[in-house]
């Protein structure tokens, strides 16, 4: 069933667009939307996927802060499911960033195989206030190095597009990232994707670190929801 907040478009060149479409909540993720994103990423695993937004101001604000802690704990788990699907699927996933990516949204972007950004894009690896979550610690060292990863995860500060490009967090900055990403996806589809490259780059503990961070955050949510229940 189509989801009202996720637009899916199949391009004749052999790739799919997935666009988050909840602008009134800055594309914040509830359980149903995150489930739809995960399932859409996992579908047609050979085909390149572009993951973006219908609203150029925002990529994704992370988990919806208006829902319950228990629901946000489920979303946290689903984000790791989705990141594992991104890494494990043979077809590449390209995040198209035209605005802010925060928390789980930043994590989905960073887990993607390429990140094509506009000059207005920015990222922030942080969770909700008062909850000691690790957000992106499992993958940022591979992208930006341990020192920069520590800075981004511990401080949760904003990273603008230009700095993100210099760190290696963003692959390219383009005035029209939708067009540039579409051209890359079409070329990859014509060449057969790049499954061998992805399999090699996923080796060496990346999925182990993903699963370790997932367990850390499960424990944090359990403490939070346990306190709330008490």
For 166-218, the pLDDT digits (tens) are 999 999 999 999 999 999 999 999 988 776 788 787 767 888 889 999 999 99
Rounded to whole angstroms, the Cα distance separating 125 from 116 reads 18
Reported as a pLDDT band with limits 50, 70 and 90, residue 84 is very high
Reported as a pLDDT band with limits 50, 70 and 90, residue 227 is low
CB atoms within 10 A of CB 200: 9
For 111-140, the pLDDT digits (tens) are 999 999 999 999 999 987 778 788 999 999
Share of the chain above pLDDT 70, in %: 97
Chain length of the chain: 230
Rounded to whole angstroms, the Cα distance separating 87 from 79 reads 12
- Please tell me the CATH superfamily of domain 6-229, with its number: 2-enoyl-CoA Hydratase; Chain A, domain 1 (3.90.226.10)
Alpha helices in the chain (DSSP H): 31-42, 69-88, 104-111, 140-144, 146-155, 161-167, 177-191, 195-202, 206-229
pLDDT of 229 strictly over 60: no
- The Cα-based distances of 17 to 12, 52, 84, 139, 163 in angstroms read 11, 8, 19, 24, 27
Boundaries of every domain in the chain: 6-229
**Mutual angle of helices 69-88 and 195-202, in 10-degree steps:** 120
pLDDT of 51 strictly over 90: yes
Rounded to whole angstroms, the Cα distance separating 123 from 92 reads 21
Q: Which long-range contacts (CB under 8 A, 24 or more apart) does 197-204 make?
A: 198/87, 198/89, 198/90, 198/92, 198/113, 199/90, 202/87, 202/88
Bridge partners, 133 (sequence order): none
């Amino acid at each position: 069933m189509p989801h009202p907040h996720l637009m899916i478009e199949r391009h004749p060149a052999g790739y799919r667009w997935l666009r988050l479409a909840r602008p009134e909540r800055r594309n914040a993720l509830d359980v149903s939307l995150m489930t739809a994103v995960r399932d859409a990423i996992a579908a047609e695993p050979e085909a390149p996927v572009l993951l973006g937004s219908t609203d150029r101001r925002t990529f994704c604000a992370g988990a919806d802060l208006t829902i319950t802690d228990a629901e946000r704990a489920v979303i946290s788990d689903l984000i790791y499911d989705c990141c594992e699907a991104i890494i494990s699927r043979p077809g590449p996933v390209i995040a198209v960033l035209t605005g802010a990516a925060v928390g789980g949204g930043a994590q989905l972007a960073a887990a993607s195989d390429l990140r094509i950004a506009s000059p207005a894009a920015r990222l922030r690896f942080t969770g909700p206030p008062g909850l000691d979550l690790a957000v992106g610690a499992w993958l940022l060292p591979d992208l930006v190095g341990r020192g920069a990863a520590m800075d981004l995860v511990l401080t949760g500060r904003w990273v603008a597009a230009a700095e993100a490009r210099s760190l290696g967090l963003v692959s390219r900055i383009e005035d029209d990232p939708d067009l540039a990403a579409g051209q890359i996806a079409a070329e990859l589809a014509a060449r057969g994707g790049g499954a061998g490259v992805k399999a090699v780059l996923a080796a060496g503990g990346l999925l182990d670190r993903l699963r370790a961070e997932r367990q850390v955050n499960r424990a944090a949510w359990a403490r939070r929801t346990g306190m709330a229940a008490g």
